[in-house]
């Protein structure tokens, strides 16, 4: 992933999609305090090493992306990465003070923001159609909802559990952790609603996991089993 930004547009984004069946792609949405990156890392390694195809076919590498999408969009727009990132919200990259002052509950996206969103949309669709990607956040589940072979996942947990987890990993007081979690959740909701043009509900996801009651390996194993039973790669194999 180290050379993702420098090689992305030259080696991937500008290539025509050769796959007649767009995907497969996995999109992971998460509430604040649920570690989608750990799930994505493990899942990408398992899917890369596990043969879903016949013995005569070669396995393909699965990659997971999140911040790389922001970097690719910034590169195309010739814009500072932080400026692009500010249209979104990174869980571990924004201080409490920045969260409370930079984002309101009535976020308004201006023309420059919209240009960023459209560029990110293009990057996500190119990755989703190319396939063999796990995309974390960035409203990917909404943007790539029409890709034929996709799996949309959401990680959730009770609010108090997530507050306690943020307290532990960030060494915050209960009050500060609660403010942080609520602000991040609200900002993400507003952004996804802006992209989708409506409020999302549970029907927008294929699978929802309670992150507070399941270990990472349990979630990854369940996703792999769904992929196998769903015959995620059947169109490739039948072609």
pLDDT for residue 181? 94
> Where in the chain does DSSP place strands (E)?
25-30, 63-65, 133-136, 150-156, 207-210
pLDDT for residue 9? 47
Whether 71 and 83 have beta carbons less than 8 Å apart is answered as no
pLDDT for residue 175? 95
pLDDT for residue 59? 63
pLDDT for residue 18? 47
pLDDT for residue 227? 87
CA–CA gap between residue 84 and residue 115 (Å, rounded)? 10
Q: Which CATH architecture has domain 30-51+58-229?
A: 3-Layer(aba) Sandwich (3.40)
pTM score > 0.75 for this model?
A: yes
Q: Give the residue ranges of the chain where pLDDT is below 70.
A: 1-21, 50-59, 88-109, 233-239
């Amino acid at each position: 992933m180290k050379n993702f930004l420098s090689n992305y547009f030259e080696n991937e984004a500008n290539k025509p999609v050769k796959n007649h069946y767009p995907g497969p792609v996995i999109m992971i949405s998460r509430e604040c305090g649920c570690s989608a990156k750990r799930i994505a890392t493990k899942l990408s390694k398992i899917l890369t090493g596990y043969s879903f195809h016949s013995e005569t076919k070669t396995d393909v590498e699965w990659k997971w992306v999140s911040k790389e999408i922001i970097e690719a969009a910034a590169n195309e727009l010739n814009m500072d990465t932080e400026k692009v990132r500010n249209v979104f919200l990174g869980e571990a990259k924004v201080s409490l003070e920045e969260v409370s002052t930079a984002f309101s509950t009535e976020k308004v996206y201006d023309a420059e923001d919209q240009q960023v969103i459209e560029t990110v949309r293009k990057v996500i669709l190119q990755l989703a159609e190319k396939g063999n990607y796990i995309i974390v956040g960035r409203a990917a589940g909404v943007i790539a909802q029409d890709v034929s072979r996709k799996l949309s996942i959401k990680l959730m947990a009770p609010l108090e559990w997530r507050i306690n987890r943020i307290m532990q990993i960030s060494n915050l007081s209960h009050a500060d952790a609660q403010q942080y979690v609520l602000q991040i959740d609200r900002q993400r909701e507003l952004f996804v609603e802006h992209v989708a043009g409506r409020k999302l509900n549970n029907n927008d996801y294929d699978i929802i996991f309670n992150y507070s009651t399941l270990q990472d390996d349990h979630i990854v194993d369940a996703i792999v089993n769904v992929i196998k039973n769903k015959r995620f790669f059947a169109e490739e194999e039948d072609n």
